[in-house]
Amino acid sequence: MDTVKRSLMNLGFSDKEIQIYFFLLENGASAVLEIAKVTNIPRATVYLIIDRLVGQGLVSRSAAGKKKRWLASPPEKLLQTIELKKSAINQAVAAINQSRMQLQALSSAKTQKPKIRYYEGVEGIKSIYEDSLSAEEIDVFCLTQNGPRVMGDYLKKYFVRVIRKMIITKDIVSDSKDDKEYQREYSTSRNKIVCIPSRFITNTDYMIYKNCVAFITYRDRVPVGIVIEDNELARFERMRFKILWKVASRGRLNSL
C-alpha cells in the first residue's frame, strides 16, 4: 500500500489528500470531526481537502442521515482520475516540446513586463476569486452594491472558504445596511472589515493578492475584470491600500 501512496504523490496528490481518501475508503461514511481526530489533520484543513477531493469526484456526501458525512468513491474512480492526470501530463509534455524555442526566448528576456489578463461574465469573475484563494493575504476595496446581485450566493460561499483557509484579509466596504450586516457576520481578528460612508460607493471593486491587482466592475449586466500581475505594481497598490485602511479605520473619511 505504501507503494500505491508514493505513486499517487508522484502524480500530484498531497499526503493529506491520500490520508483522507484512504481513511474514508477503509472506514466508510465519516464526519469531518472523526477524520480530523484519527488523521491528526486540523479540521479546517480537512474541510479544504474534502472540497478538493469532491471536485475530483473522489469523495461524495453520504445520503444517509441528516448529519453531514463523507464517502470515498470506489477505486475505479481513482483510476479514472489518474488516467485523466496522465492524459493531461502527456498533452503538456507535447505542448512544451512544440514550443521549446519560444519558451527559451521568454526565459532569456531581459525585462519582465506586467501580465494583463481580461475576464468577462460571471464565470470569468469567479476565476479571479478562485485564483485569490491561493494567497496568504488579500486586501479588498469593495464598495459596489451590485456584486452580490450579479454573482448570486457565490460571494458568500467564497468568503466562507477564505475563512476556512485562514487567509488574512482586510476589506473596505460601505456603511450601507447590507455591508454593515456583512461586517457583523464575517468580521474576525484575522478577517478585518471596516465601513466607510456610502457616498463613496462605486461600480468597481479592486483586490490585491500575491503579486496581482484585480479590478472588477459591475457597471453593466455583464461584469468585467482586469488582473495585472506585476511585483512592483502590486507593492505600490498594497502600500496605497495600507494608507487608505489606516485613514478609514480612524473614521477620518467621515469628515470628507
- pLDDT over 60 at 108, yes or no: no
Residues 62 and 166 occupy one common structural domain: no
- Give percent of the chain above pLDDT 70: 92
Residues 127 and 48 occupy one common structural domain: no
Average pLDDT taken over every residue of the chain: 86
The rounded distance, in Å, linking the Cα atoms of 174 and 143 is: 6
Mean pLDDT, residues 91-99: 80
Domains of the chain: total: 2
Q: Are 172 and 245 in contact (CB under 8 A)?
A: yes
Residue with cell 486586501: 139
**197 burial via Cβ count (<10 Å: 0-12, 13-18, 19+):** middle
The rounded distance, in Å, linking the Cα atoms of 49 and 23 is: 13
pLDDT of residue 183: 87
Q: Would 82 be classed as within a structural domain?
A: no
The parent domain of residue 12 ranges over: 2-76
DSSP SS3 for 5: helix
pLDDT of residue 211: 94
Residue 138, phi then psi, degrees to nearest 5: -135, 130
- pLDDT over 70 at 230, yes or no: yes
Q: Would 81 be classed as within a structural domain?
A: no
pLDDT digits (tens, 9 = 90+) for 178-213: 888 888 888 888 999 999 888 888 888 999 999 999
pLDDT of residue 42: 92
pLDDT of residue 4: 80
Q: Would 210 be classed as within a structural domain?
A: yes
Residues 120 and 47 occupy one common structural domain: no
Enumerate helices (H) and strands (E) in the chain, giving the number of each. 11, 9
pLDDT of residue 138: 96
pLDDT digits (tens, 9 = 90+) for 5-56: 788 887 778 889 989 989 998 898 899 999 999 999 999 999 999 998 988 8
Q: Read off the CATH number of the domain in which 38 is found.
A: 1.10.10.10
Of 26, 48, 76, the residue at which a domain comes to its end is: 76
Joined together, the cell numbers standing for residue 16 give 493529506
